[in-house]
Structure 1
């Protein structure tokens, strides 16, 4: 949100421009769209485009248009020495959202700026240094260093995209191809666990990394510390069967009024439910005494396991 001081400063700058010499308050609100604004930062420009595409599903065009207008600002002209890059969009709440505390903001819009994280650095520094008209504008030294930073940022965006592409290629390579990753080798940590188990049972859990931390701790406590030992514990793991088991458990959670504990079959929760089902008593013993007076609140996994085990009694 703009402060009164920054808003006043903007109006004073506009006063010297004929096309911005406003005559009344309505003209000001019709012309100035960034009284309220938010900046969203992402790793890559392609991510920025995806975020921009999602705006239409959340907000509406403040002028009543069919789709939100996207203003792609990219001032990379060599002679300009201005490296500002971002996607701007003016958005408003849709009619069905104008309820409760929002029922009086139907005529107010918000500016959304979307840029890469590294571009955000240049945008912010340039804004802080460049928007000081009372000081006469940036010096030659400041302009030089801003230009150098701008070129570095532009190359940084290219390097980040190349790095992410290389990472995607690496994780797409079957884990078994990497030297030393024998099924019997113990996991180094939770990251190693996720990397080596994400393809379990034909990639039955596409978002395996989600909720994997506590599962890894439980497996370690149970002595299942390698892909080989987990396969030995779950030799009859059938994704369809486990999904049915998980959905039945979710239904019981909803019926009990604790749907917030519901499991996601696309994550490592599918392995969790299979593990609890097959090692009920071992899991109960491992969790014994981990929550309660002097122990702190029970974890999500602890609550899930206790409810499942009580249900199976």
Structure 2
């Protein structure tokens, strides 16, 4: 213990500095770690009102609690003492009660040691949080981190803290948020739309991404209305059928004509009489 009103209990290699600090089971504190607690082997607190809990936990921000350490955090302290020079009657250097020849009448040199990599301890067996500033456990987060289609695009939900500052409220996302979410998922999944030759903006003119079956169906289906908005009438085609079904219907009609009218009989188109038949 090198500070004022400090204490160290149990463990080994504790270096307790600062004022009103405690090292437990091998915990250490820095010179500026006033009113601090380091609990656990090789735990360290370097700042005021800090607490480190667990093996190799380091706290270096005022008023915080740490359960692990980052790369570059203080890992502990090396204490180097000057040595006694006084001798006993036999000419031997006098030893202290602890068997060393450290000169405890002089201040030692203290060197900080740091970590070359990070390490984090898990905080386990924790109750579910209830209020806005309680800790949240994995079980509580699961419903809000769904990666399936139940919470993306048109189904997007938002989660906010209620007016009481405690409860979590679920609500429908805005249309803008849903559109942004759909676009983000589309870019990530590689889904897009068929190019529109009439579109003026590149961002609206389709994409090179995959498209859904519904998109393909709509793009390959024949028009139900003409340019004036009037319903179109087809002899053999169905506006609600797929391109494949309409080709089958057209093929069937051609076979019928070929069979009944002769192999060299041409079809009329829009009331025009085939060449050689007028």
- Per the TM superposition, whether the score is higher than 0.5 is no
TM-score (norm 2): 0.24
User: Which is bigger in relative contact order (C-alpha 8 A, separation at least 6)?
Assistant: 1
Q: As a proportion of its length, which structure holds more helix?
A: 1
Structure of higher CA gyration radius? 2
TM-score (norm 1): 0.22
